[in-house]
Structure 1
Amino acid sequence: MLLRTFLGFILLSSALASPASELFREASFYLEFYYYGPSAVRPQDLVAKYQKQLEQRCAPQAETCPVEVARPLIAEMVRELGDGHSYYLSPERFARAEATFAGTPDPTPLYGFSYQPEGNALLVTEVLAGGAAQAAGLLPGDRILSANGQPVGEIQQQLSGSSLRLELARGPAAGERRLEARLERRLMPNLALPYLYAPSGAPRGVWILRIPQFETYKQVAPRVHALVQQAQAQGATALLVDLRNNGGGEETECVAAAGAFVGDFQLTMQSHLGASPLGYRGGATVGNDPRDPRGYTLPNPARWNGKLAVLVNRRSASCAELFAYVVQRAGAGLVVGERTAGLSNTATDFFPLLDHSAIAITYVRTTDGEGQPLPEAITPDVEARDDLSAWASTGLDPVVARALEALNLR
């Protein structure tokens, strides 16, 4: 889970302090003061260890030692915590994260789909909402057989052009359909927002609500609620919420999105600074970061009451795990797939540094209504291996197939 708060940090510098030592001092302060994660390693011990290394590396340059010397040491120091929620972000990576959070990445010419080579085809694994691929009708699970009439081994060369003609196979291999799709590259922000589609080969009334990330503030959850309403209007009787490879994001987004399926709920977030509620009530988010307890009200909240399965894999992490936990705890649906990454019971925050890089620090522990920590990872109600090779060779997504079976929809 990702908390969003920014603090200014004023350093009282000595006359001989170098840019590298100033950067390291700032990062060390944040780490020592705010870290509240499960690591058995004390941040103070790490700071002392890496301070010595910095002094050795900066000795030849003294007060002119540049920030570039400190950056890898800060990254390694945070990595040594062994906490997946704590890490270093370079200035470029932090800028990209900020753009995604704000929903304003630079527009890029895109076709808008991701793929994975499998056998003699390319398996479409993701479709960008609002992109050229979605407009052309591509679906996750489609197998690309050729691009502009050329074998898929030449796909990179074909993707460099402004248009793309794809030959596709769709549906179970035994009765697959051959289709052609024409894509025109379009200029658009590269934001992986939720989208809705009817999976090939599934019974009528089954829809997949794909949520690739929870990072984009005030855009993910409202879109989830709108798509739930769209599914209801189209006569959906079952929803499969696909959180596979969703690495998490904003608490406001995952809790508000979960509210569409479970209604009101509340958890607690505990930090060094105190406790704060986290949840959903009456169409509004409740609480958030103890330092920044903001929330918002959804303009048109939805409530799903049909059959439900949440699809997860070992790369479903953080806020995606929290979503799955809330659904599982409420008994609102089944969690199907693989055991998740193991970051469900803590949350992180970005702390910007003076060189425009940042460190993400585990700052909060999440507990249930009785004060008990959430499980580290989510164990599925129904296990299913997320096997792309099997999906490509059979035309059947094994996790989707297992979810349909568990919901008595096959």
Structure 2
Amino acid sequence: MKFKAPAFLMALALTAPLALAAYADSPALPSAATADQVTTSKLVYGLLSDSRYAYRPRALDAATSKDVFKRYLEALDGSKQFFTQADITRFAPFEANIAAAIRGGELEPAFQVFAVYKQRVGERIGYARKLLKQDFDFSSDEKFEYDRKDVPWAASSAELDDLWRKSVKNDWLRLKLAGKQPAEIRKTLDKRYATLEKSVNELKGEDVFQFFLNSYTSAVDPHTDYFTPRTAENFNQAMSLSLEGIGAQLQRQDDMVVIREVIAGGPVAVNGTLKAGDRIVGVGQGKSGPVEDVIGWRIDDVVAKIRGKADTQVRLEFIPAEEGVDGKHHMLVLTRQKVRLAEQAAKGETLSIPAKDGEPARKVGVIKLPTFYQDFEGRRRNAADYASATRDVAKLLAGFKADKLDGVVLDLRNNGGGSLDEAIELTGLFIEQGPVVQVRESGGRVTVNSDRSEAVAWDGPLAVLINRGSASASEIFAGAIQDYGRGLVIGETTFGKGTVQNIVDLDRWPSGETQRYGQVKLTIAQFFRVSGSSTQHKGVVPDLAFPASVDASEYGESTYDNALPWTRIAAVPHTQYGNFGPLLPKLEGRHTARIAADREFQWWNEDVEQFRAEKAKKYISLNETERRAEREKQDKQRTDRQAIRKQLGLDLDPLADDSNDDGLTGNERDIVKDTAREKAAEKRPDPLLRESAAILADAVNLLEKDRPLSAQVLPQSTGAGRWAD
């Protein structure tokens, strides 16, 4: 069973103590908040209830308390697989006192309710492990209904027993279909369930506190979050694409922390001793400091010991991968450095579109931008090498320009956003000057954020590729490019997140305090396109649409019950470089004809339809014959596709022979092989990207040979947007 990790917890005023479960092998949770947590709760309440800070403050009244309580239960046990209705009834009296608990920092109920949760997890896991001693009958027509969001709470423990029996049965069947024998299946699942229980037992008071506060913040706004000092550090590192440490991606496997991947240019890579699969069992500070045994530690606690200021030393005790868990321990001293996370930065490549029907071959540059990253601290210090999405994209564009490429596709698929400043500055690489986005604050004041530089990094043909995972800053950029008529927007309708967040450091208020209270990512404004339209809910609608890979009812801003509504404000004057309306029917016709003969694109569409059909069922069969037939059908489909690829000279799918469900979870797989599988996935055929480049090439060819059409589509003859000369 795929369990939802707790990502919540709320303050509940307790009138009578709840019975607590005792676990000898897990740290005891506190029964009350620390002094710092009490202060933090009060500070967060002050932010979220005050219109001077929050864009849409929400009073902590009875209705809000009820909402927080509901979100707490959903976040704690969203699949309703641990609590019974009796538990929910027992918690209900706390609902009325939530407001007082949050305002006053009286957070005892958060810890006590969590203790009950731990107890229920222990009971369920104990039952699941007991089931492994028996055999299962896979000849019946049973179904495991895994989508339980809207079902009522279980009326009894017996009802949960039946749910877990089907869940364990499904886990067993997956491994059996993958070729595992009963003894191996029992061992794998027993360890899996024990690991789940241990991960819950390892949660600390600071985790419960963060879960609790986020049940409150999410009731105010789906994009407002509380970060503890540690999670705030992780968030800031992700945004800056850099960290100070040894330069290795770590993963927990069983009771050890294992190196998953070595980051190029970091101390580990430069030293050359450690490699993927090596196990870190001890960490010491300095060249001669004592080494602490970290076996059994949480991974974030191990990471906290390994990270540190640049130019300081860390001692690592490790076991090489090839020597096994009982191998000889080795010692290594590394000097920490600032490490750039280059794998997450913008990347470029060139696609060749062959000549056809008398039209010339074209070369199209592609830039894949996974996030709008910026090293805020580095920029504040005016560091010469601070990480910036715009700066990195500008370098790639300069290379494309030098190579005289015919067009550029900016791939923003699954780019969830990032820095607002980067979205504005990145837009400025493609327009001469002008407004990019309008920002409306809580008081109603509208500020127009503009690109003020006349310099243009790329004035040629441009397309922006988007999907449902493109959000926030991605929508600002794509919307501006569309409003200016600067380029074609291709793909799926975007996420629909039209709000602006700011990081508020809670340590700014208590005088002299640092890194004690954490940070809040707070919604402070709503953004609007220069056309006046909000992207909220509606997103950015592409000029040329690909089939939707995910339904708007399943993913996107519209799925949040407390998201802001769509609205619009007045447009602001801006340059109109082009109007692609007259060109779109011709592009659509060519696109339709091309994908009808494009095997990869058709296969992608088939896979999307199959995925959506399976997801709509919300259950999975527990009949072995039926499941095996489905697996064999998928095997044949992959084999047939590979044969056709080979026959037609297409790029072979590097994962075609290794894409069956192995029944394992991520931390159960061989780390080295799993990492190699991830790298291979990056080389899989990408028909959507290639088709986007082909559409852009079509646009260039059509406008180049049809001057009247070009004059109609691109009336601007100079400056940015010079598609055809």
TM-score range, shorter chain: 0.5 to 0.7
Deviations 1:362-385 (A, max 9, x none): 111123447554454111222225
- Given the alignment of the two structures, is residue 380 of structure 1 paired with residue 399 of structure 2, yes or no? no
Indicate the residue corresponding to 1:272 in structure 2: 442
Shift of 1:233: 0.5
- Given the alignment of the two structures, is residue 281 of structure 1 paired with residue 413 of structure 2, yes or no? no
**Which stretch of structure 1 is more off in the superposition, 353-362 or 254-263?**
353-362
Change in Cα spacing, 1:348 to 1:404, as seen in structure 2 (3 Å) is same
Partner AA of 1:189 in structure 2: R
392, 414, 427: which one aligns with 1:223: 392
- Given the alignment of the two structures, is residue 195 of structure 1 paired with residue 347 of structure 2, yes or no? yes
Which has a greater percent of strand? 1
211, 215, 227: which one aligns with 1:72: 211
| Number of equivalenced pairs | 308
Distance 2:320 2:244 in 1: 19
Distance 1:326 1:237 in 2: 22
- Given the alignment of the two structures, is residue 31 of structure 1 paired with residue 189 of structure 2, yes or no? no
Indicate the residue corresponding to 1:360 in structure 2: 521
Alignment of 1:33-182 (within 5 A): 33=50, 34-37=53-56, 42-45=58-61, 46=64, 50-54=98-102, 57-58=107-108, 70-83=209-222, 85-102=223-240, 104-109=242-247, 157=277
Distance 2:41 2:374 in 1: 30
415, 419, 422: which one aligns with 1:253: 422
Deviations 1:246-286 (A, max 9, x none): 11111111111111123323132121364432120225xxx
Change in Cα spacing, 1:398 to 1:89, as seen in structure 2 (3 Å) is farther
Contact kept? 1:242, 1:311, Cα under 8 Å: yes
Shift of 1:234: 0.7
Shift of 1:76: 0.4
Contact kept? 1:260, 1:304, Cα under 8 Å: yes
Q: What SS class does the counterpart of residue 243 from structure 2 fall into?
A: coil
Q: What SS class does the counterpart of residue 447 from structure 2 fall into?
A: strand
Shift of 1:195: 2.0
Which has a greater percent of helix? 2
Q: TM-score scaled to structure 2, two decimals?
A: 0.38
Shift of 1:99: 2.7
Distance 1:67 1:131 in 2: 34
Shift of 1:28: 1.0
Change in Cα spacing, 1:255 to 1:60, as seen in structure 2 (3 Å) is closer
Change in Cα spacing, 1:131 to 1:310, as seen in structure 2 (3 Å) is farther
Shift of 1:30: 1.2
Contact kept? 2:110, 2:212, Cα under 8 Å: no
Indicate the residue corresponding to 1:239 in structure 2: 408
Shift of 1:77: 0.7
Q: Any stretches of 5+ residues in structure 1 without a counterpart?
A: 1-15, 112-127, 133-155, 164-185, 284-300
Contact kept? 1:50, 1:73, Cα under 8 Å: no
Distance 1:245 1:213 in 2: 8
Q: What SS class does the counterpart of residue 198 from structure 1 fall into?
A: strand
Shift of 1:106: 2.2
Shift of 1:399: 1.6
Shift of 1:201: 6.9
Deviations 1:105-136 (A, max 9, x none): 1254459xxxxxxxxxxxxxxxx9x779xxxx
Contact kept? 1:263, 1:303, Cα under 8 Å: no
Partner AA of 2:99 in structure 1: Q
Contact kept? 2:277, 2:320, Cα under 8 Å: no
Deviations 1:29-80 (A, max 9, x none): 111222215xxx934334796434556643899xxxx766643221101122
Shift of 1:18: 3.9
Distance 2:463 2:406 in 1: 12
Distance 2:279 2:424 in 1: 37
**Which stretch of structure 1 is more off in the superposition, 268-277 or 233-242?**
268-277
Change in Cα spacing, 1:59 to 1:332, as seen in structure 2 (3 Å) is closer
Partner AA of 2:218 in structure 1: R
Distance 2:374 2:433 in 1: 22
485, 493, 497: which one aligns with 1:331: 485
Shift of 1:95: 0.3
Q: What stretches of structure 1 move > 6 A for 4+ residues in a row?
A: 158-163, 388-391
Change in Cα spacing, 1:187 to 1:384, as seen in structure 2 (3 Å) is farther
Partner AA of 1:21 in structure 2: V
Distance 1:60 1:312 in 2: 41
Distance 1:58 1:69 in 2: 11
Change in Cα spacing, 1:248 to 1:395, as seen in structure 2 (3 Å) is closer
Q: What SS class does the counterpart of residue 244 from structure 1 fall into?
A: coil
Change in Cα spacing, 1:49 to 1:70, as seen in structure 2 (3 Å) is farther
Shift of 1:237: 0.7
Q: What SS class does the counterpart of residue 60 from structure 2 fall into?
A: helix
Partner AA of 1:279 in structure 2: S
Change in Cα spacing, 1:281 to 1:212, as seen in structure 2 (3 Å) is same
Q: What SS class does the counterpart of residue 236 from structure 2 fall into?
A: helix
Distance 2:350 2:97 in 1: 54
Distance 1:162 1:382 in 2: 52
688, 695, 705: which one aligns with 1:399: 688
Contact kept? 2:48, 2:58, Cα under 8 Å: no
Contact kept? 2:241, 2:341, Cα under 8 Å: no
Shift of 1:306: 2.1
Change in Cα spacing, 1:131 to 1:338, as seen in structure 2 (3 Å) is farther
Q: Which has the larger radius of gyration?
A: 2
**Which stretch of structure 1 is more off in the superposition, 228-237 or 196-205?**
196-205
Contact kept? 1:244, 1:316, Cα under 8 Å: yes
Partner AA of 1:330 in structure 2: Y
Change in Cα spacing, 1:108 to 1:239, as seen in structure 2 (3 Å) is farther
Change in Cα spacing, 1:270 to 1:60, as seen in structure 2 (3 Å) is closer
**Which stretch of structure 1 is more off in the superposition, 362-371 or 392-401?**
392-401
Shift of 1:26: 0.3
Q: TM-score scaled to structure 1, two decimals?
A: 0.63
* CA-atom RMSD in angstroms: 4.0
Shift of 1:19: 3.1
Contact kept? 2:353, 2:364, Cα under 8 Å: no
Higher relative contact order (CA 8 A, sep 6+): 1
Indicate the residue corresponding to 2:632 in structure 1: none
Contact kept? 2:110, 2:208, Cα under 8 Å: no
Indicate the residue corresponding to 2:595 in structure 1: none
Shift of 1:93: 2.2
Indicate the residue corresponding to 1:149 in structure 2: none
Partner AA of 2:527 in structure 1: T
Alignment of 1:343-354 (within 5 A): 343=497, 345-354=498-507
Shift of 1:336: 1.4
Change in Cα spacing, 1:17 to 1:241, as seen in structure 2 (3 Å) is closer
